[in-house]
Amino acid sequence: MNSQIAPDQINAAGHLTIGGVDSLELAKEYGTPLVVYDVAQIRRQIRAFKKVFEQRQVDYAVSYASKAFAAIAMYQVVAHEGGHVDVVSAGELYTAIKANFPMENVSFHGNNKSRAELEMAVDHHVGMIVIDNFHEIELLNEVLASRDQSIDVMIRITPGISAHTNKYIQTGQVDSKFGFDLQSGQADEALQKILASPRMHMKGLHAHIGSQIFELNGFQMAAAKLVEIAAHWRDEFGYEPEIVNVGGGFGIRYVSADHPLKPEDFVAAIIETIKEETQKLNLKMPAVWIEPGRSIAGPAGYNLYTVGSRKDVPGLLPYVMIDGGMGDNIRPALYEAEYETVLAADPQAENAETVRLAGKYCESGDILSQHQPLPKTKPGDVLAMLDTGAYGYAMASNYNRNPRPAVVFAENGQAHLVIERESLDDLVHLDRSYSQA
């Protein structure tokens, strides 16, 4: 029995439902592999984050880190819930623009924003640029001057905290490509440059220590560090930040061995730390911004796959092959990420064996799950992999020229196609013939 499946997610036929829609019907109608979001879960999590701030009467923004899953429909849901978003590329910004997302609630991040990206952000009146390096300060000044405009900015600092998570998704340690270093005085220098620019309105400071973090301690240390810098800036430069942005990174449960705090409990503890530290240092309580990606998109997502072939080797775990794989979810291959999977037709069925769920890509590393207990499956059975909503479709590729899956939003018993499945023609539509002499 899978503890992640709530009893009300099983319908009278015994099938898994997502957003009140039968998962087998979804597979039949839209085909597999298919990404399905339970939209109510997205809303619930954004609301839970907002509530933590509202209960404490702290000014805030819940800024969804849209790199976790960016799609017009997703920006629309976040806008409807009153969230902000952070974007990290022209492509994410363009998608937000297409969704009519309120530009004043967009923050633009990135360690190597191009001039074209900064121009796009300025021309669309993006609410906040999170400045990452000295080159960007110069570029942004030039872009603003060329348009006779000004913009709100924050400084991203590297807090010097090594979060306990996969090293590929740590970002707060001293040796990181993101943000201004503290010890060497780079952050102070950046502040002075920005304060000296009449076109940049300095609003606050930002740190993000990494992703899929379970320990509270790292977040509290980062929050305390940000307040310490705020006090230092006040004392040294007469500048007091209005906003402290603590980033995202709140870990979620992928498998039953994971026991993270609720995402909103991480945030509650962070707010308390900021309150205590600002009181100690006699600072005004700043607005607190968070940037959760995974905790909003992850648990809401399900990947549906159809079982195909199978390979049994005596003494080894069988391979059960599915019609997707590393092209729609690179995380197991990249981070040894783990997931749980159930049989869509009977998610609480007795398990009969432990298998490896292998994708269809020409890579031995294309194994989505190394040890998944399942009932005995047969070709044609639909499997639902849980918690795939963050960095799954967002990191999808066309490796082996496989089309990327469709994405469906399910809510109140209704399914809506929000990203079409790529066609074979889509795969070649950028190709041009080469006429050989």
Ligand X SMILES: N[C@@H](CCCC[NH3+])C(=O)O
199 binds ligand PLP (CB under 6 A): no
CA 410 to centroid of chain Cα atoms: 19
**30 vs 69, which CB is nearer to ligand PLP?**
69
CB-based burial of residue 422 (10 Å sphere; 0-12 exposed, 13-18 middle, 19+ buried)? Answer: middle
Pairwise CA distance, residues 174 & 179, whole Å:
10
Angle between helices 216-237 and 263-280 (to 10 degrees): 30
Is 102 a known ligand-binding residue?
no
Contact between 37 and 410 under an 8 Å Cβ cutoff? The reply is yes
Please report the DSSP string for 362-426 in residue order: S-TT-EEEEEEEE----TT-EEEEES--SSSGGG---GGGPPPPEEEEEETTEEEEEEPPPPHHH
Any residues with CB less than 8 A from the CB of 103 and at least 6 apart, and which? 96, 97, 124, 125, 126, 127
359 binds ligand PLP (CB under 6 A): no
Q: For residue 303, what are the β-bridge partners?
A: 35, 385
For the window 373-412, what string marks contact with ligand PLP as x by the rule CB under 6 A? -----------------x----------------------
For the chain, the straight-line distance linking the first and the last C-alpha, in angstroms and rounded, comes to 64
Pick the catalytic residue from 13, 116, 145, 362: 362
**199 vs 331, which CB is nearer to ligand X?**
331
Amino acid letter, 416: H
Contact between 46 and 68 under an 8 Å Cβ cutoff? The reply is no
Any residues with CB less than 8 A from the CB of 44 and at least 6 apart, and which? none
* Candidate residues 291, 328, 381, 387; the one interacting with ligand PLP per rule CB under 6 A: 291
Does 157 participate in catalysis according to the annotation?
no
When CB distances are held under 5 to 8 angstroms depending on the partner's kind, the choice from ligand X, ligand PLP, none that residue 248 binds is ligand PLP
* Candidate residues 107, 211, 245, 369; the one interacting with ligand X per rule CB under 6 A: 211
**Side-chain half-sphere CA neighbours of 185 within 13 A:** 4
Contact between 417 and 30 under an 8 Å Cβ cutoff? The reply is yes
Is 294 a known ligand-binding residue?
yes
Least gap, CB of 316 to ligand X (angstroms): 28
Is 391 a known ligand-binding residue?
yes
Pairwise CA distance, residues 356 & 54, whole Å:
45
* Candidate residues 16, 42, 52, 68; the one interacting with ligand PLP per rule CB under 6 A: 68
Is 249 a known ligand-binding residue?
yes
Least gap, CB of 75 to ligand PLP (angstroms): 16
171 binds ligand PLP (CB under 6 A): yes
* Candidate residues 19, 33, 172, 248; the one interacting with ligand PLP per rule CB under 6 A: 248
Is 264 a known ligand-binding residue?
no
Stretch that binds ligand PLP, among 47-55, 225-233, 292-300, 419-427 (CB under 6 A): 292-300
* Candidate residues 169, 227, 406, 410; the one interacting with ligand X per rule CB under 6 A: 169
Pairwise CA distance, residues 324 & 161, whole Å:
37
**230 vs 290, which CB is nearer to ligand PLP?**
290
Any residues with CB less than 8 A from the CB of 295 and at least 6 apart, and which? 45, 248, 250, 251, 252, 263, 390
Least gap, CB of 34 to ligand PLP (angstroms): 22
When CB distances are held under 5 to 8 angstroms depending on the partner's kind, the choice from ligand X, ligand PLP, none that residue 249 binds is ligand PLP
The footprint of ligand PLP (CB under 6 A) covers 65, 68, 86, 109, 171, 208, 211-212, 247-250, 291-295, 390
The footprint of ligand X (CB under 6 A) covers 67, 169, 171, 211-212, 331, 335, 391
Catalytic residues: 362
Instruction: List, as residue ranges, the binding site for substrate.
Output: 294, 331, 335, 363, 391
Instruction: List, as residue ranges, the binding site for pyridoxal 5'-phosphate.
Output: 249, 291-294, 391
